[in-house]
Amino acid sequence: PRWRCGRAILRSIDVYCLGKRWMYHVGAEKGGVVADFLNRAVDAAVAKMEMRSDPNPKPQSSQSQPPPRKPRFVCAELGTYCGYSAVLLAATIKERVPPGLDFRVYSTEIDADHLEVARRIVSLSGLDDHVTLIQFDPSKSRLSDALRERIAADEEDASAAAAESASASSVD
């Protein structure tokens, strides 16, 4: 799959930084620590999701409420820089997450130039469906508000898509 390019991109950045020009990024050694922590967090989220799931779900009528929202794992990064960490986070989660669990990495950045580089890196990685880059201006709003608003907007979009999918299924 295309998203596996993320690991190759991370290795390329590491090689470049070690051999040609130092760059302030997580890197392979600290990245391994982050990945281990993230794997434990994903495992805990999956265990929690499994505890909440009903072993005998009741069929829902098409007239009832919209389908339940798919469980979601959210990760927030403060400071995107070149996108290395966003790709690391998304690739690690993607490798670990079961099919029933949706996930998103939200990464915030103040500098527009850094954000543009990150957009390219994330796009090359094939993980752009799971990474949301947010340009943040601390003079205009609080970081927590910017994240909350973007996450809420994404959840509204996901709910609308699920409702549309459910209504399309009931028409068939």
> What pLDDT digit, counting tens, does each position of 81-93 carry?
999 999 999 999 9
* Residue 118: pLDDT over 90: yes
* pLDDT score, position 63: 60
CA dihedral 75, 80, 82, 87 (to 10 degrees): 0
d(C-alpha 154, C-alpha 104), whole Å: 10
- Mean pLDDT score across all residues of the chain: 86
Note every long-range contact of 12-16, with CB atoms under 8 Å and residues 24 or more positions apart, other chains counting: 13/82, 13/84, 13/121
Residue whose C-alpha is closest to residue 28's, from 12, 41, 52: 12
pLDDT per residue as tens digits for the range 36-56: 999 999 999 888 888 876 666
The whole-model pTM stands at 0.83
**Is the model more confident about 62 or about 155?**
155
Give 130-146 pLDDT, tens digit per residue: 999 999 899 998 999 99
The pLDDT, as a whole number, for residue 66 is 61
pLDDT at position 100, please? 76
Q: What's the gap between Cα 34 and its chain centre?
A: 15
Confirm or reject CATH 3.40.50.150 for domain 2-50+71-140, answering yes or no.
Answer: yes
Give the model's pLDDT for residue 158: 78
| Percent of residues, the chain, with pLDDT higher than 90 | 51
List of long-range contacts for 53-58, beta carbons under 8 Å, 24+ apart: none
**If we measure between CA atoms, which residue out of 54, 13, 51 comes closest to residue 31?**
13
- Does residue 170 have a pLDDT over 70? no
The reported pLDDT for the residue numbered 57 is 61
